[in-house]
Structure formats: structure tokens, C-alpha cells
Amino acid sequence: MLKKLVLTGAAGRLGSYLREPLSNMCEELVSTDITDDIGTLYPNERFAQVDIAVYDQIAPLLEGADMVLHFGAIVDERPFEELLGPNFVGSYNIWEAAHQHGLKRVVYASSIHAVGMHKKADFIGIDAPHKPDTFYGLAKCFSEDLGSMYWDKRGLESVCLRILSCAQVNNPRALGSWLSYDDLIQLVTRAIDTPSVGFSIVYGVSNNDRAPVDNAKASFLGYRPKDNAEQFAEAILADAAPADLTDPGEMCQGGPFASVELGKSATKSMNIVNDKKKT
Amino acid sequence: MLKKLVLTGAAGRLGSYLREPLSNMCEELVSTDITDDIGTLYPNERFAQVDIAVYDQIAPLLEGADMVLHFGAIVDERPFEELLGPNFVGSYNIWEAAHQHGLKRVVYASSIHAVGMHKKADFIGIDAPHKPDTFYGLAKCFSEDLGSMYWDKRGLESVCLRILSCAQVNNPRALGSWLSYDDLIQLVTRAIDTPSVGFSIVYGVSNNDRAPVDNAKASFLGYRPKDNAEQFAEAILADAAPADLTDPGEMCQGGPFASVELGKSATKSMNIVNDKKKT
Amino acid sequence: MLKKLVLTGAAGRLGSYLREPLSNMCEELVSTDITDDIGTLYPNERFAQVDIAVYDQIAPLLEGADMVLHFGAIVDERPFEELLGPNFVGSYNIWEAAHQHGLKRVVYASSIHAVGMHKKADFIGIDAPHKPDTFYGLAKCFSEDLGSMYWDKRGLESVCLRILSCAQVNNPRALGSWLSYDDLIQLVTRAIDTPSVGFSIVYGVSNNDRAPVDNAKASFLGYRPKDNAEQFAEAILADAAPADLTDPGEMCQGGPFASVELGKSATKSMNIVNDKKKT
Amino acid sequence: MLKKLVLTGAAGRLGSYLREPLSNMCEELVSTDITDDIGTLYPNERFAQVDIAVYDQIAPLLEGADMVLHFGAIVDERPFEELLGPNFVGSYNIWEAAHQHGLKRVVYASSIHAVGMHKKADFIGIDAPHKPDTFYGLAKCFSEDLGSMYWDKRGLESVCLRILSCAQVNNPRALGSWLSYDDLIQLVTRAIDTPSVGFSIVYGVSNNDRAPVDNAKASFLGYRPKDNAEQFAEAILADAAPADLTDPGEMCQGGPFASVELGKSATKSMNIVNDKKKT
Amino acid sequence: MLKKLVLTGAAGRLGSYLREPLSNMCEELVSTDITDDIGTLYPNERFAQVDIAVYDQIAPLLEGADMVLHFGAIVDERPFEELLGPNFVGSYNIWEAAHQHGLKRVVYASSIHAVGMHKKADFIGIDAPHKPDTFYGLAKCFSEDLGSMYWDKRGLESVCLRILSCAQVNNPRALGSWLSYDDLIQLVTRAIDTPSVGFSIVYGVSNNDRAPVDNAKASFLGYRPKDNAEQFAEAILADAAPADLTDPGEMCQGGPFASVELGKSATKSMNIVNDKKKT
Amino acid sequence: MLKKLVLTGAAGRLGSYLREPLSNMCEELVSTDITDDIGTLYPNERFAQVDIAVYDQIAPLLEGADMVLHFGAIVDERPFEELLGPNFVGSYNIWEAAHQHGLKRVVYASSIHAVGMHKKADFIGIDAPHKPDTFYGLAKCFSEDLGSMYWDKRGLESVCLRILSCAQVNNPRALGSWLSYDDLIQLVTRAIDTPSVGFSIVYGVSNNDRAPVDNAKASFLGYRPKDNAEQFAEAILADAAPADLTDPGEMCQGGPFASVELGKSATKSMNIVNDKKKT
């Protein structure tokens, strides 16, 4: 059992599902967020309200930790200036602090939006070149490259989880891109328990019949998702509007992020259900 | 639900299995064939006897249709002159009529014989270059290239189903190449219900242990076959004659078509059971 | 020295430059065209006016020949029905006649338009999948596949010369796509003198700095072009209109053929100088 | 049913599990080993004590056989001189004798150690270049190349089973590399019953979540393993020492063989349980 | 002739060689730098001292320009915080201002350090995934991804010149990595005069015998370098210290940047001759 | 300048051309051969008659050497038993002795016959899998794999020169495969003077128009051949017999070795001119 884990973005939707399983994998889970409340704590969990964009706030929390699970960021498209602190500098702070405190590994919530302008029909693998769809995706590219460099230059491991879409399935794209909460937990568990990972990338997607990405080269991580969005296909497709074949959001991995104007919110119109896990 | 679908080759063996499921996916199914009888019609089905090689016969039927399922062709090797009308010009007529009437998509019964001279051991993907084994296969190459062009130039979508072998399993090759009727129906359903396909190719093969082709790059279509010819393996292999390693029909994807003389019937000696579905 | 060569399309622009060098490589050159006059004949050349779309006209001429140089076709985009005879059936006639008369090889004037919808920036090699831009290009795909099959099934060799553009350089695209007449002659010479070619494809392009295609895999043919369109760059670029980045004709290999409407002449607006070689 | 099979290395651990199923696939199974006792024989089995490094001892046994299953070798790292006879010359003797006696096929127990210096994270396929980790692995490279040549030059088929690790799972690496005895038997069965194999390579590994190699290109062989080492993961990982990221044995396919000094025993410290099947 | 070009980093060594040729390609060249003096101006050149890290300083200068040549940055490894303004935000400012003012293209001085941790022996092409060697290289990755996104989302073109090393050849690595000033000028000229580039990457390296990178896929740009560092090989190699095979700086593309500690100057020990062009 | 070089096979044809340039690159050249006479020695050259198949004969000579140039072997196809000593064990002795005496590098005369069964039309690169055409080629595979392992496990560098054909051009195959003596010398010089090579493979072939192999991935070695066999093409092709397209010797890289029976001399019928350099 690990001694200490640190989770950033603990108050977010994904964070809310990860806190309990993470708390069971270590003696102490330090959950952090920029908000001031994450609800009731699990037995060996403690909470710290910090701004990851400020090195001196986040760095000390990593002392003595084995790994950090970095899920904290603004989770939408915004003007570059707004993302610069939390999504760019915040990532730098995490990797640098992890290095300074001798952590073994960073597990990072990356995103399909780092490669969102690739076509769905290209079935990209984990070594496809970056092709971001938004400033949000650009921050994911930046953080992955940062992780690659800290491994090559300093021997700090990283697993970048390129999550496709982790939310209730309510549109045709999600039939391919869905990551169930159970599969998210398996994915994070594998990212932690695999003995050596170097610098690795793996797509966070369930075992969907229509999954448009290829995890083959991450095989050694042992992530084998169990859920399948095909259970929702009939209902979703019956209601779906005709596809607009000239819309990058239809043809590209990034979905709505691929068509949104740079700097404008992409999630506003996406009807994401906030089914955060209650604690 | 779709308004109208058109099926060519409706009196053929594959057509006979597709008519019922197709009739359930649309308000009106127009089944066509060059023969004059396809048996009892399903509730919302109507039949038209047409020669697809004659534009003015087939084209008007596509008016108002959403998609056309193009399964009509001479299904065997023949001299080029005999295939020119139905298998070449017929395909042109379908795509051109689909364009003229503003259809969204052509679903085409292509065939492994478009790439039949590739070795089985090469596990070709959907982007392997054409390598036809017969004039029959050449017509499939021609039609696929036609579909590619109508998408690139006119925005008309196509899914080309490269069927390996869809018939009762009664020889060793079929242990790898078999496509069950149920999986055929799933394949055609996916080709219809996937919101956007652009120009796509997918191998029509069941979930056989010995499947010699790679559908990975068509993953977004969500075709996940359920049947497996391995159930027949013990019986088939016990009776099989020794393999002739110098016979292209043994080593190549196309099987008997890979060894048949150009222009001569390849199916005559294949003992294909005519288990056409009775209506 | 070869005994007999047959050249189709001898009255065309490219044919006019090939007749003399070809006549020097064999005891007898049979030049054919659908027109009735190709000017003064070279010493060991004879002319036959034939329609390659009619098997019985062209086939007998191949008797006793070593190879046929197949350059005859309608050289422009046209409705499919107009190309069907000369560009499709004509090719079949050539390969079939070559087989019937035991020729060693077909040297075929294929074209970039067989792969014209690929992006210039993709630097496609000779094994890129077909992606025709016009019915004209589709006929090139058809003929290449035919050649592949006659090699695999009947041992008849083919070299397909995918010519990019062989005409005076008078536009920016030609800075990359130009094939000089001297390099054309070298290319055809290599296609003839290489002892074994199986089924081969090679791009017909000069040694242009801006050449957008990759002949590496045809290296064994020894085609090493000498001319370079860069000599025309300064003048051409000074006069060029700004590029329209949304025009497939600008971004794709096929140039004007990539943007022309299917079935409409693509060369009408191209100002191709008819500098046919006088004899 | 086959007439005769020959098994070398019959007294080894893997051999002990193969003798029974092999004896059921043929009229006569000739089991051989350099030791003098393999326990009770199965009904149609006979035993011959031979040294495979001596051509005249092993060769006569292959007379009249359909195939030879070549599992005999020193199964550990040793100085080159010690392996030269059994692992190098022994292989030559098997292939040469198989050729001399007209056998159809050699099924060879190759090993991951032929490619053991590749990184686990590279998910190598069956066509990865050789990259041996030991003299032991070098002998596997030698034998595979021998098999490739006997197919290309003499039409003798081979299947090389690159076994990852076939032993009780008692360390983290084995979570990815385990080959269960049942899957070993399936693998050997497929290597025998597939009608044509040419020269083929296939990884011998179970259906482990964490399998680090890619068998896709051997698909036509129909090997579909059923067991999964993930059942042991929790217990194994709980006890595991921290990974040493600078140890090739941790990062490379070959595991302990990748870090052992050349010529020194690699298995001594591996705690391989000798659960040889009793007969 | 172009109306207006903007050059950032005009006072730098590379900038000093570009000012004259650039001034000959346009009616007005606006040269900018953070320093206050770039020497005598060329006839149609004007100078503006600006900090590119401040949007309002640099943006207005781009008004009415056709293209911007972005060479301004701190040209060495430094702590992330020091590079954040000029090398990261500065790039954002350039692309955003170029978009706001409707420029056609950004020509960007990227660097081998974006992929500096790749092995020299891997002969990486322009589509190799990012693998930065320093924060300096990370800023190049960031800027390239930015350029990719502005093309995909906003139709703003970019050419990223991944310069290997542009300085006097005085060490063995430079025999492969050298970019002569003349070839730099050719490279920049091609980046400007090519009619359409979309988003392109090209290595900035001379025609060195030992060049370790592959520009094939940028062929359409027509960059064909003329100089060759092999002229210096004998002298350089005679004096060279033995290679340290365990030093990433010896084996990797990035050279000294690959071995330097993150955040520490890499150029201090490199003896780069400041042969800035005098004006 | 190097202190000491060792050359095996010094009495061979290739050795005879290498002795002088090698003697100029080091203070002492030790030339060895199994024969007892290599003619007049160069100033700083000494000769030792040794059998490389005997470790104790060859090993002591390597003491104090920087590198060994391993050209000694039986240079023809022979029965496996005859090649086992000189071509297999001899290679082991060289690498092991090089390791024991702390040499920096082995430069090995490998051969196209390690990959001789690949098709010429496949334009194989340096990473093509082994595909030997003879026992002679098998020994080259063995030695290359040995070199790979000594680098991976012991940090001993190797350059494997896969020579295609180094002899007077007197047949069509040599138009592609020729390596001139001058280019051989350049190749060996690069293999010595490149500061770091790890384990490298490079094809030994001149700058022939018809070269059928791809050295791109060995670019960093800086081997840029100057000679071109095309100068002999006209004369050679005029005299050549028609190609037999069913002969592997015509279609495969290995030429006559690809068609010779295993174990039988391949060079007997090749009319190789023994133009050994006189000393």
C-alpha cells in the first residue's frame, strides 16, 4: 500500500468519483481544489484548498507523496489568458514540485482535445502527433510534452490519460467516446499499480463498439475497460439530428471542441449532466 | 426512422437475408433485381424488376431515397465483356443516380476479391492497396474508387463492405473468411445507422478466430461481429485435403478466385449452399 | 535490340516526343492513333490508324511485339460514358491483346489523377491507395488495377508511369509537377530496359525542387530525372495570383482536376501549349 | 489424423504438458530427450533418448513424420560454447533432417528472448527485428532465420512460437508475459492444424490484460488464448518490490534475461516452480 | 512583391542575416527586437523596439502585413518562469495578432529542441512526436502546436523551421546539424514564396552528408540546401575528444541541450561564434 | 589518429583495397588472414596468420586496438558444417575478444545475403527483418544479431556494412548492387570516424541509379557514395539474356544466392574478376 497520494481537482466531477477508490489505495489521500468544499471526507483523506497556479501553495503538499493525480484545471475552452495560470503554469507547478519532492509518478488527466483535430476515421493511436482543437487542448499538449521531458531528463514517470468524454451518454459522439466512471477508476488504478510506466499515454475510453481511438500501444498498462456505450445506441440514434458532414465537430475526435471558436466555451451547449458523486 | 431505402440484388442470397431487417428500418423499402420474382413482399416493401446496367431503369427508383444498398451484380468470375454492364456500368449508374437524387449514402457490397491477391499472412487492413484476383474483383476496385471520388468531389457518402465469404462453412478457408447472416445484418445496420461515414471500407467477416483481415481502422463504425466459425473447425479440418502451398488459392485472401483462370467461373466448384431465405 | 514495339496515342503530344527514341530501340515501331495522320514516319516506323476501344482493330497489331507503350486515351475529363470506350475498354483491350500475343510487358501512361485527391503536403509514395479526382483519373485506377492483376494471374509485366504534368511550365503547380520531355524519354527508356519489373508504379516527374511525390520505392527502375522546374520559379511566382487555400485544386495533387466538376473538361482553362514535336 | 509426430525436449516442463495432447493428434508420437526417462508413456507414444546436437542420432527418427515439434534445448543462459551444440547445431539438425525426410512442417519453441531487448512499452509485433538479450536468445534468432530460409528456399514450413514465460505466475512481469499450459496446448494445436503457415511467428502468451506484445499479424493462425494472469495481479503487486527504472530487466521484454550478464544463468534466481506434469 | 513583412528578433544573429534578403522581398520590412539598436537600416526597412511578450506592443505592428517572420525569443535554456513571457506568451501574441490583422502566414523559427530527445540514429521525419529536451524546446513544441491549431481552426498558415544549429561549425555534432546562413536564407525564402503551406514543419539543416533528420515530407516546399559541413569534417574530427556513449548529448538530436540540466544555460559552454552580420 | 586497428580477411579482395587506407588512419595496422601471404606490407602494417575460428589465435591480437575491421570469412555458400567455424564461431570470437580487450567498435563486413530473399522491388531499409538466402547469409544474420546484443548488453559498438556486390560490373543485377572500391573505402572510413554509432547497419552500395536498397536511416553516418554503375548500363543490357521472372535470383536482393541450392557454391558461375589490389 502506498503511503501518500495527492489529488488535484478533487471537487470536480471526475475527482468526486476518484476520491473513495484512491483513499483505499494509500495511507493518506490529500485532496485539493481551488474551491473550499468537497463534502464529507473519507476516513484517511484530508483536504487542502489551494490554487495550483501558485507554486508555493501546491508544492508543499507533495512532500512525502508517492504519486500525484493531477486532475485540476479549468475544464472548458476559455481565452488563452484565462487558461494560462491554472492549465499551463499549474501543470508546470505539479511536475516541478513532484520532481523537487522526489515523487515516483504523475498521473495526469489529459484529454482527447490534445489531438482533437484528427479525423475519427483515422483511428489514431497514442503516438499520433498533437493536433489540438482549442486552447484547452493546447494546455493538454503542453502538459504531455512537459511530462515527456521530465521523464527523459529527470526520470520522473508520467501517465497521461487522454480522456475522451466522461459524462452521461446523450449524443451520438458519446457512443464512441464514453468513459464510464467504473472504467475511469480502473484506468486510474492501472496508472498507479503498473510497476513501471516511463512516459506513457493512454486513451480514457470505455469498451465501446464505436470507440474511435487505438490503445494497442499502451497494452502493457493492462487497462481493459468493461463498459460499452452501445447499450444507449438505439435510443440516442433514434433522436439524433442528421449529421452535418461539413462540421469538424462531426468528423473530428474533438467533437464540439473541434467546431467551437477559439476562446469560447465549448461545454455550454453540451448538456453535460452534473452527476457528481455525493459524499 | 428512414423514409426510403433502395436495395439492388434483392433476389440474391444476401439480399434475401437483408430484405426483412431493412424493411424494418424505413417507411418504404424498394427492392430491385434483374429477375422478376423475389417471393412474398414484406409489409412496407415494394419490388421493381430493373436492369441496373441501364441508367434510366434504375435511376428513377432512387428519387426520394435516403440511401441505396447496392448488392446487385453478377456474383462470379466471368469474361470482362459480360461483367462490363452489370458490375461496372451498373455501379456507375447507382452512384450517379444517388448523386442526382441527393441521397445521403451508398452502402456497397464490395468484396475481398478487390484485394484477393494479398497473402492471408499479411493481415491486410482496410487501407491496403487494391490487388484484384479476377475481373469480378476488378469491378469491386472500380466501384470502391468510384465511391471514393463521389465523396471527395460531391460529398456523397459510401460504405464499402468487403465481404470475405458469406455462405455455409464447408472448407478450411471459410474458417477464417466466414460472415454469418446475423453478422451481415449487423454490418449493414451499422453502415446505415452511423451518423457520418465519409468514404469508408470495412471487411465483412465474422468474429472468427482465424480471420485474416484487420478492421481496426473502421472501428468508429462500431461493427462488432458475434459469430465464430471456429465451431466448425474440428469437423472441417478432419476432412480437409492437404494444403497445396504453391496454390495462390491456398495462400491468398481470394481463395479459389485467386487461382481461377481470368474470365472462368470460380464458384462452380465451390459447393456454395443456396440457403436463400424463403419469404 | 528489341524486335517490335507498339505505341498507342502516337499522334498525341507525348507520343510525338516518344516516337523517335522508341524507333531507335527496336527493329520495328508500330505507331497507332485514332487520328489518320502522324506526320512523316521515322525510318523503321509504320503507322496504323486504329480505335483502341475496338479489340479487333488493336489486337492484331500486337502480334510479335515485345512490349506495348500504351499512351492512347482521351486526355481530359469527360462524362463517364465518353471515356468508357477509349479509356476503360481500350485499356482492357491492350492488356488482353498483350496477353494473347505473349508480350513481355505493357508500359502504361498512367497519371497523377489516379491519386489526385491526396494532399500535396502528404508526399505520397507509389503505394498510396487510389484516390481519383475525375472519371479520367478513375480510368487510370482501373488500368493500374488491371495491370496488377495481369501480373499476378498471368505473369504479364506492367510499368505504370504516373505522369504529373508534361507541358510547358506556366503556373505555380507545375514548379512541382513538371515532367520535361527529356525526362519523359528517360522514364520510358528505363521502363523498357529494366530487365524485370513485375507490376511497378513510378511517378513521372522531373527532378524539381518542389516535387510533391515520392519515387523511392521504384528505385530499382533507375529513373533519375535531370531537369528541374526551379529555373522557372521566379518568373512564375512573380505573376501568380494569391493561392485559394480552400480550393482542392491548390492543395491536392491533381491540381485543376481536383477542383473541376466531374465530367467537365479540366484542361480547357489550363493554357497547355501544344508544342507537339514536328516530324 | 496425422501419422507421426516427433517431439524433442519431451522430458522438459513444457514437453511434459504437450505429450498427451500430441499423442491424441497422431497415430504415433515419438518423444525424444537427452535424458533417459520421461515417465510412463501414453498409449501410442514411444521414447528415444537422443542428443539433438548429433545429426545421426536425431535425423533417422524423423523418417515418415508429418511434423516435428522442436522443444529441445538448454533452457537458460550459458556461455556461447555450451549452447553451440544443443541450441544452434541442434536446430540446424532438426530443420535439415526435416527437409531430408520430406516433413511438412517444423513447430519450434522460440522465445521472447529473440527480441528481449525491445522495450515493453513498444508493443512489438511479430515482425519486429531481432534484438536478442542473451546467447540463449541469439540461438532463437538463429533458429528463426533458419526456418525462414528453409521455407524460402526449400518450401519447408515453420511456426516459431515465441514463448514469453510459461510457468507459475510469481512476479509482476509474469502478469503480462504468462502463458498458461492450456493456452500453450491451444497454441501448439493451432500450429499443427492450420492448413498452411509458410514461415510464421506467433507470440506464446495468454490473454493477459497486461500482455506487452502484438499477435495481430498472426491472426490467420487462429490462436485465441483463454487464460488471463490478471487473476493473480492483486496478490503479486501487493508483495512486489519497487521497480528499478534503470534496470533493463524491468523495462525490456526479456525481463531477467535482459539484465543478466551474458553467459551467466538467468533462471537461477527466478524461482521457477517445476510443476512438470506427472505421467 | 509583398507589401509588408514583420521580423521579430531582428537584432539576433539569425535576424541579422535575414534583414537584407527580406527587405528585398517586400515594399516595407518592419524589424523588431527587444533591444534598442539593430544598426543601419536597409532602404525600405524600419525598426521598432518592442517586447513581444506584451500583446499591445507587438500586435499593432502587424497591421497590413502579409506575413510575420517570428524569430524573437530567448535563445537558450532558462528557468521556465523566465521563458514564459518571451517564448510562450510571445508566440501566442504573434499568432493571435496575425489572426486579428488577417495575415496570410507566420514563418516561425522553431528548433530541433522540440524533438531533441529523439536519437540521431532514428532519422526522424517532420511528423515525429514532440520530445523536447529543455524548457526552451518545450516552448517550441507549444508554438508549433499553436500554429497547427490556428491553421485548423482559423485558416492562418504557418511554416515552422526546425533549425538544427546555425553557427560556425566547431564540433562533431555540427557536421550533421549545420545550417549555413545561405541555406537559412533559402529556407526562409521558400517559406515565404510557396503559394500554399497550410501548417508545415521543415528541418533547417544544410545538405550535410551527416544530416540526422528527414525532410522528405516537406518536399513540396522546395527547400534544397546547397552547403555541406563535410568540408570541415577532417579538421573537426581530428581534434575531437572521444565520444561519451552514455551522454544523451552525444546520442540525441538536441546535442548539449539534451544533456544540460533543465533550466540551466546550455549555450554557455558551446563556443558559439557571434558572427552577426554587420549593417 | 587511432593507435591500432586490426583487419581480418586482409588477404581477400576487399581486404586488399582496405589495407592501405586503414594503414593511414592509425599508428599500427595488424592485418590477419588464414592464408600465409598478403604481399608487401605497408609502412606501419604488420601481418599475422591466424584462424579466426580459434579464439586463442585471434583474441590476443586485439589487445590495445581501438577497433577491429572484421572481413574474414569464407566468402561463398557452403554446407553449414563448413561455415560453422569461420563464419559463425569466428564472428563470436571477434566480438568476444573485442569485449575482453575493451575495444570501442567492431566494423563488420555483413552482406545483402542477410536479407537476400526480400524482393528488389521492396526497396528495403536497414531495419527490414532478416531473410537470409543461404547458410552464408545466415552467418551474416547471426553476426549482426551478435553485434546488436554486444551493444545492448555490453556497450560495444558495431557497424554492419551490408555489402551488395563489390566486384567488376558484368551483369544486370550489378547495375543496382555495385559497390566501387572507392566507395567501399569511404564507407569503411565513415564507419571508423563517426564519433558514435551504437549498433548500426548500412548498405554497402554505390550511388547507382538502380540501387535497390534504402540507406536513409543510416544518414547520420554520412556515407555518401560517389560512383554510379549506370556508366556500364548500356553495354551490359545490350548483352543480357532475357530475365527469367520466375527465378528468385532475378527478383530478389540476393541475386544468384537467392536461387542457388543451399550449401552449394553460388559464386562459381558468377565470373567474379579477381582484381585484387597488388601490394
- DSSP letter string over chain C? -EEEEEEESTTSHHHHHHHHHHHTSEEEEEEEESSS---SPPTTEEEEE--TTSHHHHGGGGTT-SEEEE--S--S---HHHHIIIIIIHHHHHHHHHHHTT-SEEEEEEEGGGGTTSBGGG---TTSPP--SSHHHHHHHHHHHHHHHHHHHH--EEEEEEE-B-S---SHHHHHHB--HHHHHHHHHHHHHSS--SEEEEEE--S-TT--S--GGGGGG-------GGGGHHHHHHHPPPP-TT-HHHHBTTTHHHHSPTTS-SSTTS-----PPP-
**Residues of C contacting chain E (CB within 8 angstroms):** 120-123, 172, 175-176, 208-212, 214, 230, 233, 237-238, 240, 242-243, 245-246, 250-251
Q: From residue B191, give the alpha-carbon distance in Å to each of A271, B107, B108, B161, B168.
A: 28, 7, 9, 8, 23
Q: pLDDT band at residue F145, thresholds of 50, 70 and 90?
A: very high
The string of pLDDT tens digits covering residues C193-237 is: 999 999 999 999 999 999 999 999 999 999 999 999 999 999 999
Minimum-distance CB partner of C145 among B84, B89, B141: B141
Chain C CB contacts of E216 under 8 Å are 123, 214
Predicted local confidence at residue F37, as pLDDT? 87
Q: Would the pLDDT of F44 be above 90?
A: yes
Minimum-distance CB partner of D123 among A193, A216, A222: A216
The string of pLDDT tens digits covering residues B149-196 is: 999 999 999 999 999 999 999 999 999 999 999 999 999 999 999 999
Minimum-distance CB partner of B200 among A121, A208, A237: A121
Q: Examine chains C and D and say if they touch (3+ CB pairs below 8 A).
A: no
Question: What mean pLDDT do residues B258-262 have?
Answer: 97
Closest CA–CA distance from residue C84 to any residue of chain F (Å): 32
Q: Are F150 and F129 in contact, with CB atoms under 8 Å apart?
A: no
Nearest residue to D238 (alpha-carbon basis) of A24, B1, C275: A24
Hey, is E87 helix, strand or coil?
Answer: helix
F232's grid cell:
556500364
Number of inter-chain CB pairs under 8 A, A vs E: 79
C38's grid cell:
502522324
- Residues facing B203 on adjacent strands: B162
- Continuous H helices in E32-171: 55-58, 80-83, 90-100, 135-154
Q: Would the pLDDT of D1 be above 90?
A: no
Give percent of chain B with pLDDT exceeding 90: 96
**Residues of A contacting chain E (CB within 8 angstroms):** 80, 84, 88-89, 92, 96, 117, 127-134, 137-138, 141-142, 145-146, 148-149, 152-154, 248, 261-262
Cell match 420474382: residue? B37
Contacts of D24 (CB under 8 A, 6+ apart): none
- Residues facing E67 on adjacent strands: E5, E105
Closest CA–CA distance from residue E200 to any residue of chain C (Å): 8
Minimum-distance CB partner of F155 among E121, E175, E245: E245
Chain C CB contacts of E197 under 8 Å are 121
A121–B222 C-beta distance less than 8 A:
no
- Chain A residue with CA closest to B221: the answer is A210
- Cα distance between residue D203 and residue D183, in whole Å: 11
A209–B222 C-beta distance less than 8 A:
yes
Residues of A recognised as catalytic? 136
Nearest residue to B196 (alpha-carbon basis) of A19, F233, A241: A241
The string of pLDDT tens digits covering residues B209-241 is: 999 999 999 999 999 999 999 999 999 999 999
Question: What mean pLDDT do residues B4-19 have?
Answer: 98
**Residues of A contacting chain D (CB within 8 angstroms):** 1, 104, 155, 157, 193-198, 200, 216-224
- Cα distance between residue E121 and residue E251, in whole Å: 8
Chain-centroid distance, C-alpha B206: 14
- Cα distance between residue F32 and residue F86, in whole Å: 13
Closest CA–CA distance from residue B171 to any residue of chain D (Å): 11
Q: Give the sheet arrangement for strand B2-8, strand by strand.
A: B45-49, B26-33, B2-8, B67-70, B105-111, B157-163, B199-204
Q: Would the pLDDT of E269 be above 90?
A: no
Q: pLDDT band at residue C269, thresholds of 50, 70 and 90?
A: confident
Residues of F recognised as catalytic? 136
- Cα distance between residue F189 and residue F194, in whole Å: 8
- For the beta carbon of residue C99, count every other beta carbon within 10 angstroms: 17
Minimum-distance CB partner of D209 among A157, A195, A224: A224
- Cα distance between residue F17 and residue F276, in whole Å: 7
- The answer to ipTM > 0.95 is yes
Closest CA–CA distance from residue D139 to any residue of chain F (Å): 9
Q: At A226, give phi and psi (nearest 5°).
A: -110, -25
E233–F196 C-beta distance less than 8 A:
no
The string of pLDDT tens digits covering residues F245-260 is: 999 999 999 999 999 9
Higher pLDDT, E1 or C39: C39
Predicted local confidence at residue A279, as pLDDT? 82
Q: Are C132 and C144 in contact, with CB atoms under 8 Å apart?
A: no
F242's grid cell:
532475357
Q: Would the pLDDT of D37 be above 90?
A: no
Predicted local confidence at residue D279, as pLDDT? 82
The string of pLDDT tens digits covering residues E87-102 is: 999 999 999 999 999 9
- Cα distance between residue D70 and residue D106, in whole Å: 7
- Continuous H helices in E65-178: 80-83, 90-100, 135-154, 172-177
Q: Which CATH code, of 3.40.50.720, 3.30.70.20, 3.30.1390.20, 3.40.50.300, is assigned to D2-269?
A: 3.40.50.720
Chain E CB contacts of F218 under 8 Å are 123
- The overall average pLDDT reported for chain F is 97
B145–C262 C-beta distance less than 8 A:
no
A220–D208 C-beta distance less than 8 A:
no
Point out the catalytic residue in the list C17, C108, C136, C203: C136
Predicted local confidence at residue E101, as pLDDT? 98
Hey, is A199 helix, strand or coil?
Answer: strand
Point out the catalytic residue in the list D17, D108, D136, D150: D136
A237–B193 C-beta distance less than 8 A:
yes
Number of inter-chain CB pairs under 8 A, A vs B: 52
Cell match 525600405: residue? E44
The string of pLDDT tens digits covering residues F87-110 is: 999 999 999 999 999 999 999 999
- Chain B residue with CA closest to A243: the answer is B195
- The overall average pLDDT reported for chain C is 97
- Cα distance between residue F128 and residue A225, in whole Å: 35
The string of pLDDT tens digits covering residues D236-265 is: 999 999 999 999 999 999 999 999 999 999
Test mutation, C82, C153, C156, chain B, max B CBs within 10 A: C153
Q: Examine chains D and F and say if they touch (3+ CB pairs below 8 A).
A: yes
Minimum-distance CB partner of D220 among B121, B238, B245: B121
A49's grid cell:
484548498
pLDDT lower than 50: segments of chain A:
none
Chain E CB contacts of A132 under 8 Å are 145, 148-149
Q: Would the pLDDT of F1 be above 90?
A: no
Chains that touch B (3 or more CB pairs under 8 A): A, C, D
Chains that touch A (3 or more CB pairs under 8 A): B, D, E
Give percent of chain D with pLDDT exceeding 70: 100
Number of inter-chain CB pairs under 8 A, B vs D: 52
- Cα distance between residue A98 and residue C88, in whole Å: 66
D200–B123 C-beta distance less than 8 A:
no
- Chain A residue with CA closest to D244: the answer is A196
Q: Would the pLDDT of E37 be above 90?
A: no
Predicted local confidence at residue F225, as pLDDT? 98
Domain-wise residue ranges, chain D = 2-269
B149–C133 C-beta distance less than 8 A:
yes
Q: From residue A237, give the alpha-carbon distance in Å to each of A174, B55, B65.
A: 11, 34, 19
Test mutation, B245, B251, B259, chain D, max D CBs within 10 A: B245
Chain F CB contacts of E225 under 8 Å are none
Q: At F116, give phi and psi (nearest 5°).
A: -70, -20
- Chain D residue with CA closest to B245: the answer is D196
Test mutation, B25, B196, B201, chain A, max A CBs within 10 A: B196
D212-233 b/e (C-beta count within 10 Å ≥ 16 → b): bbbbebbbbbbbbbebbbbebb
Q: Would the pLDDT of D24 be above 90?
A: yes
Cell match 547507382: residue? F208
F134-168 b/e (C-beta count within 10 Å ≥ 16 → b): bbbbbbbbbbbbbbbbbbbbeebbbbbbbbbbbbe
Predicted local confidence at residue F58, as pLDDT? 98
